[in-house]
Structures are given as structure tokens and as C-alpha cells.
Chain A
Amino acid sequence: MRIVVTILAVAALASVPLWLRDPYLLNALITTGIFVIGAMSLNLLLGFTGQLSLGHIAFFGIGAYVSALTSLGFDVGLPGGFRVVHEPWPPIIGLVFAILAAGLCGYFVGLLSFRVRGAYFVIVTISFAEVVRLVALNWVELTQGPLALTNIPSIALPLPGFGELTLRTKMQNYYLVLVVALIAYLLIARLVRSHFGRAMRGLMENETLAVSVGIDVTRTLTLAAVISAAIAGAAGSLYAHYIRIIDPEVFAFINTVTMVIMVISGGKGSLAGPVVGGLIFGLLPVALRPVMAPEAQWIAYGGVLMAILFVLPRGIVPSLAQRLTKRRSSTAALALTETGIEERA
């Protein structure tokens, strides 16, 4: 049942560029897709460990900058008269570096803050994002500061025997984002159903008990933070190579808030939640733009968010899944609805 829904959803998403010819809408779908990946990574922390990262955009932005700089090359002076010169490398290597760099940052942020958790983690992540934004703004030699990094090359996929395929068109980029989103989705799905996922859930539900059955808190949460940050970094890299220009505004707090809204409205702790919430709140501004004034758009946006949380307080996916499977308590049904965090939220 669930597999059928998943396959149908993927097929529907894959067919979009075949019938949707409007480049503006396709563009909106691609950027939304990139943010959906970010929201999925946030959900891994917020939905499955209960830790709210309010600086999640930092990992996204670090991925964007690392990937852009890897493919553009740079020449910077360091204190003590050293110079670091880097020749441009292929963007696909930038993507790999973006994942690694963001994951590494996730490791340090996790290690620092998970000793205390909860509100402290929220504060550490906000501060982290702000520090990274200030670095991007002020280290002009490396990042061009507010002048932005421009002319970032598009991603080129190496095809053995055929040279390489540079992804220039919207359709190609759409499929790239779709594939990365699918990989991220499967990765998270496997992770949360493995015993690592169970350890995370145990910690969220009853930390004292989880510890007493031998679950290592710091290790489990740090692992979740690393994977979450790495996926966000991948999304950032896609963003940089698709938009092809990034400035420190990418670190804006509103971007994190958008991801949080996507996760909460779709349903935290459900795998499909961030996808559903992400599509709705990513595309809503696009849908509202032709029919109302800019000021009214944000009011409508907020109205829709409140309406969703009022009618479906646990988020769209868990609430609907619960209604559909009310009488069934099979494991499959639970996997869809397992938010189990209302009390902690």
C-alpha cells in the first residue's frame, strides 16, 4: 500500500517536465525541490530526535559556498604571509566537498551542543548560522562578500565514454534535484528504520530509559546531526550550481524558518511530511503571486499555515495517515504515523 503510493508519487513527480512547459513554474519546482531536501534533513533532527536546529540554513549555505568555491577556484592570503591558491575543479567534486564540509560542521555543532541539548542546541545552531553568515559577508577575498560569487558553473555529470553532460536546461536540473531528493529520502528512511533510528526514537521518548538500556546519547545525536547537515550541504550545493550566484543572504534566518514550516506543516517525524509540506509552502507563494498584492500574499501564507495546524495539528501526513489507518495497528501504518512527540514539542 505504502510502496504503491510512493511509486505513484515518484512517477507523478518524474512526469512533470514532460507536460509542464512553463519555465517559470519549472524553476519554482526546482528551487522548491532543493528546499524540500533541506526540510527532509531538518526533519531527521527535529522529527526523529526532537532537537530543533534553528540554524539549519548554515549547513545549506556552507554546502553552497564550498561547492561554488571548489568549482570557481580562489586565491586567498592567510595570516603569516601564506597564500592558498585553488584552481577550479569540476562542480561534481564541489558537491562531494559540500557534503563532507557540511557533515563535518554538523559533527562539531553536535559535539558541542548535545552535551546540554534542548534549548541550548537551538541557541548554538542560531549562533552558528549567524557566525557563518558574518564570515561569508566579511571575508571578501574568499567569498566576495556582498558582491556575491557569480558565474558558478552548472553541474556536469561525467559519463564514461561520452565525456560529460553539463546540466544547463531546467528539465535536466529538475531531474537532478529529483534524483538527489530520492536518494536523501531513501537514506533517511533506511536510517530511521535501522537500530540507529530506534535509538533516536528511544532517546526522544524516554531518555533516562534509553540510556539505561545502553544507548549512547551523544553518539546517537551527533550521528543524526552529521547526516542531517551533510544532506543539507548537498542541497546547498545543488542550489549554488542551479542559481549560479550566491551571496551571504543565503544564510538569512527566514530560510531556516521556511524549512521549519515545511517540516511542521507536513508532519515532523514522518518521512513524507517534509515533502508534502515543502511542496505546499514552496509553491504557495508562486500560486498566490498572480492573484493578490505582495502584502496580502504573506497574510494568506500565514493563514494557510494556521489553517493546516488547526485542522491537522500533528501535520498533514501523520494526521491523514492516522485517519486512514485508524483501526489498523500494523507496523507499516505506524511507520507513517510515528511522530510520537507531541508531548515534547
Chain B
Amino acid sequence: MTARSVAMTIEQVAVRFGGLVAISDMSFTVGEGEIVSLIGPNGAGKTTAFNVMTGFLTPSAGRVTYRDTALNGLKPHEIADLGLIRTFQRTSVFPNDTVYDNLLIGLHRQGRVRLLDAILGLPGARASERKLRQRASELIEWVGLERRAHDLAGSLSYGEQRLVGVALALAAEPSMLLLDEPVSGMNASETHRFVELIRSIRDRGITILLVEHDMPMVMTVSDRIVVLNYGRIIAEGTPDVIRNDPAVIEAYLGHGAARA
């Protein structure tokens, strides 16, 4: 095994909504700088797992630890403060602002100045504002949306909105990024560019946890894959191992994807 240190530990997490068991018993780890994918059929509990890791949902049992901090009981914005940032399946942008202003909102964590300084327009606040504007432009460039910077985010195509969502997440300076089905709705060439983007994010030392349906994409980009079915982990390993795991093939992938 690699000598990588562990970033996130999920220990025996269970989530029940009344009588419905969304996750029965889930344990796995994500190493620093690793790209791990969480896959499984619809309703397998992937998004639920995401919600637990980012504080939007409190698990019925078990615990999630990120860099030695237990996340149980923390509010989402406090978890964001730890550097754990997520994107969303559907609601990925602030639709009535321009892409540029979206990024400025996303840079909230970097722009904390005292209220009075901001109102009086003191030099400190202005310098911080300048820095934010520059950072926003950089991030827009990074995801390749320069031409759309001054369009309303709500008017962008689905794929472009996904990119805004990722840029927003990056704006929060994550040390770990959780991407919830980032390429759904993208065409093949958009997906290809997105894979490149994910790699460049990882190359900056950001750990990535991915939930995705697009099997070829998952197989290409992941270091390790965790397969979830009916709320429990049925397999875990490198893409090659997963591809050839009979349980996975039977439960989920099918022959077509297994050849991918």
C-alpha cells in the first residue's frame, strides 16, 4: 500500500430515515491527494453519504473524521472552514448573479474583513476586495469560462454551470473537494475536459472524492473506487480491481461497462 497519510475516515456510518435504511454500515478512508470515487446504482446511498460528510445530515450512527477533527455535530459552514468543500448535483450556482459575482460570493471565506472597515472603505478592506477580484478572475480562467464571466450564471448551459460550481468550490480554498455527479449532463468532449480539470485540481494537492454515474469517466480518473449498493460497501479497490470484481459486475456495472 502507499504511504499516503489519511485525510478522511468514515467509520461505521449508518443513516436511517425512519424505517428506511439509506446507509447501513459504511467504513472507508480517503488518503491525502487521492482521487476516490464513490459509485453505485441509484438509491445506493451515495448522495446521503455526501450529505453526512459535509454536515448537511447527521448520521444515525458512526463517525466521520477529517484530518483528526470529528465532524459530528458541526454545521455545514464550520465544516467548510475545515477545508472540506462540496459541489451539488442540481443547485450548483447563484443563478441571478454573473459568473464573476458568483465567484466573489464563493470567495467569502477569503474576504473576511471587519464590518466597519468594509463600510468605511478602509485601505485594508479595499486591498482585500482587490485581491478577491483578482482571485475570481484567476478561478474563472482556471475552469475556462472567461468568455462567460459577465453573463448571468443562470443563463449558462448545464455543463458550464457545473464548471461554475467547481470554480465556486475551489474559491473556498478546499483541501478536499467533494464532487456530486459533476459530469452528468455533459457531452463527451466536456467530460473529457472536466477530467483534465479534476487532475489539475489534484495536482495542486487537493484531495478529491467523487460521486459519479459515468463509468468510463470514473475508471479513467480514479485512484481508488468504493462501490456502494443498498447502503453497504460491496467492493473497494483500484479501477482494475473493480472492473474485474464479479460482485460489482453482477450488481451494477454489467458487461458493457466492464469492458470500458
Contacts and interface: CB of A to CB of B under 8 A. Distances in A.
Interface in B166-203: 168-169, 171-172
B91 A198 contact: no
A195 B85 contact: no
A215 B106 CA distance: 9
Contacts of B171: 213
B218 interface: no
Contacts of A191: 115, 118-119
Given A213-B80, A214-B80, A216-B77, A205 B95 contact: yes
B81 A212 contact: no
B112 interface: yes
B92 interface: yes
Contacts of B16: none
Q: Is the interface of A mostly helix, strand, loop or mixed?
A: helix
Contact of A209 (B91, B107, B125, B132): B91
B96 A210 contact: no
B111 interface: yes
Contact of A198 (B87, B105, B113): B105
B108 A195 contact: yes
A202 B105 contact: yes
Interface stretch (A293-301, A305-313, A333-341): A333-341
Nearest to B132: A195
A190 B101 CA distance: 16
A211 B113 CA distance: 18
B101 A213 contact: no
A329 B98 contact: yes
Contact of B108 (A202, A223, A334): A202
B108 A212 contact: no
A212 B75 CA distance: 10
Interface in A183-225: 187, 190-191, 194-196, 198-199, 201-202, 205-206, 208-217, 223
Given A198-B105, A329-B150, A213 B96 contact: no
Given A202-B108, A213-B105, A195 B86 contact: no
Contacts of B92: 209
Contacts of A194: 113, 115, 118-119, 125, 129
Given A194-B119, A329-B98, A213 B113 contact: no
A199 B94 CA distance: 11
Closest 10 pairs (CB-CB, A-B): A340-B96, A194-B118, A214-B80, A195-B111, A202-B105, A214-B109, A205-B94, A211-B76, A198-B105, A190-B119
Interface of B: 54, 56, 75-77, 80-81, 85-88, 91-98, 100-101, 104-109, 111-113, 115, 118-121, 125, 129, 132, 150-151, 165, 168-169, 171-172
